[in-house]
Amino acid sequence: MARILTGIQSSGRPHLGNILGAIQPGIDLSKTPENESFFFIADLHSLTSIKDPKVREENVNAVAAAWLALGFDTEKNTFYRQSRVAEVTELAWYLNCFMPYSRMQLAHSFKDKSDALGGENDESVNTGLFAYPMLMAADILLYDANLVPVGKDQQQHLEFTRFVAKKINHHYQEEIFVIPQAKIDQALMTVPGTDGRKMSKSYNNYIDVFLAKKPLKKQVMSIVTDTTPLADPKDPDTCNVFALYSLLADDTQIAEMRKKYQGGNYGYGHAKNELLGLMLDKYADAREKFDYYMNNLPELHKRLEEGEAKARGIATPVLNKVRKAMGYL
């Protein structure tokens, strides 16, 4: 059995891009009989940028509700909040003490994030951003994970994890850690936003399928289109509405909409309404469950607490191996 571990960002409510690009593929992967998935909400990582506890808690609740609403099986797998398994921070310290500073300085993501914030001398560039790779490494090594699905931007961090795990194993002449493998999806789905760029909260071009119908319709109707008159034929392959519709519809539905575009007398407003209808239909059950969990937080938290107990059951023996090898047990 392969043990798969994935960290889930808690920087906001999940949008359609998150669902299609990460959540649904993760859930599909977890359904494979020979796989066991550990999915955690990275609420400690989020402290590097989100300092308001109320905002962070709202984000964590929304992320958890979305994963459960979309069908993640918490009986077969393990779903938990990173911060509720405190062993991860202790392990991160041990890893920091074996990871060369010179190698950490090579981290691409730290350079990118610090540059975006105004440079390394800017006070908003905190030490947490710099030490992020070792907390990520602790997340992985604490659960004896075999496979870690990562995007290309996180591949270097996985290499850091492998490096420090091998270094500690070698130093103590003991197989303390399982050495994880990266699972890199070269065909990771890029979901277009309402303006045609990649859907992102930072671009404010996202669609939140868990919104009530009226505000969801407003987002769908904001999708940017060209000015081709209603009566004229339109090119579906250059249209943001059609691109989003194609990611959600089946082959028959896609073919029918393509025919309408090319036949004329079919406006972008018609296409947007069809897209809205498809979203409401496709995510009807998930929308209902999401609202249920967000309105019944004790039940949501109970599901997370059950996962956290399972996670600690794996984490504690692994951490005890480290403590014993280093003389802390």
201 is catalytic: yes
**What is the arrangement of strands in the sheet containing 78-81, beginning at the earlier edge strand?**
78-81, 35-41, 2-8, 147-150, 181-184
Alpha helix (H) ranges present in 82-239? 87-96, 101-104, 108-117, 127-141, 155-172, 213-221
Q: Please give the radius of gyration of the chain, using alpha carbons only, rounded to the nearest integer.
A: 22
Contact between 59 and 46 (Cβ < 8 Å): yes
Candidates 18, 4, 67, 7; CA nearest to 40 is 7
Q: How far apart are the first and last CA of the chain?
A: 30
Among the listed residues 167, 183, 198, 310, the single catalytic one is: 198
Q: Is 31 a catalytic residue?
A: no
| Structure tokens belonging to residue 316 | 């504690």
Distance CA 42, CA 52 (A): 15
Contacts of 76 (CB under 8 A, 6+ apart): 30, 36, 37
Closest CA to 109 of 159, 173, 153: 153
DSSP code, position 231: T
- Of residues 113, 167, 217, 310, which has the active-site annotation? 113
CB 10 within 8 A of CB 42: yes
Q: Known catalytic residue: 213?
A: no
Hunting for tokens 């109320």 — which residue is that? 54
Which of 144, 150, 136 lies closest to 185 in space, CA to CA? 150
**Closest CA relative to residue 239, chosen from 202, 278, 277, 269:** 269
Catalytic-labelled residue, pool 167, 201, 217, 310: 201
Residues with active-site annotation: 113, 198, 201
